[in-house]
């Protein structure tokens, strides 16, 4: 698996379908309140079958390389589910998905699909910002007796907060591409101007203070 080629290709395709938008001069306000020069909606990927299959293939290869002992693939609801489904089909492994919280009716399940005591599980999400969603899913699986051996995602902003959160949770994360790759590819393909690069780099270095 050529990590650099994969990272560049995934970044290029995310930009092409407008799943990632960069605009440092007119920044976005995230739900968390962070002001950012980037907005990502990786849910758009499911509308493009060829790209969706590429993502599934690359995630499957990543899992085979990093977590060869994986026994179950899990998707973080909702955006991680289609990608986890594709990966589980390729690897011919059982699948589950994890809701943000338990249902308030029926069996009040939080996890649907295979989740048995001792299962070695890899969880998949589409995007990592702070890591809150996927780490919450990790906790849910482990409370059911599963052993989450690691996590993967399509794209990460690679924020200091997420690095700390995964470290504190003693959880591994690998992604197909990341923010530094994204902005380099965006410049190369003329999605941003060279003059924008300084602002994009400044946000990456200090996202909390950027734009204030």
Q: pLDDT tens digits for 59-85? A: 999 999 999 999 999 999 999 999 999
Q: Is residue 139 classed as helix, strand or coil in its secondary structure?
A: helix
Mean pLDDT score across all residues of the chain: 96
**Count of domains in the chain?**
1
Residue 61 lies in a domain: yes
The per-residue DSSP string of 34-103 comes to: -EESEEE-GGGGGG-HHHHHHHHHHHHHHHHHH-TT--EEEEETTTTHHHHHHHHHHHT--EEEE-SS--
The answer on whether 128 is annotated among ligand-binding residues is: yes
The answer on whether 147 is annotated among ligand-binding residues is: no
pLDDT score of 95 more than 70:
yes
Q: Which of 151, 152, 162 is nearest to 34 (CA)?
A: 162
Pair 70, 121: CB distance under 8 Å? yes
pLDDT level of residue 103 (50, 70, 90 thresholds):
low
Residue 210 lies in a domain: no
Residue 128 lies in a domain: yes
Residue 163 lies in a domain: yes
Q: Rounded mean pLDDT of 9-20?
A: 99
For the whole model, what pTM was predicted? 0.96
The answer on whether 130 is annotated among ligand-binding residues is: yes
pLDDT score of 40 more than 70:
yes
CATH number of the domain where residue 39 is located: 3.40.50.2020
pLDDT score of 16 more than 70:
yes
* Domain range enclosing 132: 3-205
pLDDT level of residue 102 (50, 70, 90 thresholds):
confident
pLDDT score of 104 more than 90:
no
The answer on whether 105 is annotated among ligand-binding residues is: yes
pLDDT score of 106 more than 80:
no
Please give the DSSP secondary-structure letter assigned to residue 131. S
The answer on whether 129 is annotated among ligand-binding residues is: yes
The answer on whether 57 is annotated among ligand-binding residues is: no
- What is the structure's pLDDT at 32? 78
Q: Which of 92, 89, 83, 40 is nearest to 59 (CA)?
A: 83
The answer on whether 34 is annotated among ligand-binding residues is: no
Q: pLDDT tens digits for 123-157? A: 999 999 999 999 999 999 999 999 999 999 999 99
Residue 212 lies in a domain: no
Q: Is the peptide bond before 162 cis (omega within 30 degrees of 0)?
A: no
Residue 64 lies in a domain: yes
């Amino acid at each position: 698996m050529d990590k650099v080629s994969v990272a560049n290709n995934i970044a290029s395709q995310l930009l092409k379908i407008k799943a990632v938008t960069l605009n440092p001069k007119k920044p976005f306000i995230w739900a968390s309140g962070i002001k950012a020069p980037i907005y990502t909606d990786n849910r758009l990927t499911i509308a493009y079958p060829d790209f969706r299959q590429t993502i599934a293939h690359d995630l499957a290869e990543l899992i085979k390389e990093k977590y060869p002992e994986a026994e179950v693939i899990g998707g973080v609801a909702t955006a991680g589910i289609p990608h986890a489904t594709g990966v589980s089909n390729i690897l011919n492994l059982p699948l589950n998905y994890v809701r943000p919280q338990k249902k308030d009716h029926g069996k009040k399940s939080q996890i649907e699909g295979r989740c048995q005591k001792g299962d070695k599980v890899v969880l998949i999400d589409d995007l990592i910002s702070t890591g809150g969603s996927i780490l919450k899913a990790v906790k849910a699986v482990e409370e059911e007796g599963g052993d989450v051996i690691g996590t993967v995602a399509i794209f990460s902003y690679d924020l200091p907060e997420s690095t700390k959160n995964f470290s504190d949770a003693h959880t591994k994360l690998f992604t197909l591409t990341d923010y530094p790759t994204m902005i380099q590819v965006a410049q190369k393909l003329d999605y941003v101007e060279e003059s924008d690069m300084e602002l994009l780099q400044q946000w990456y270095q200090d996202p909390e203070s950027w734009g204030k």
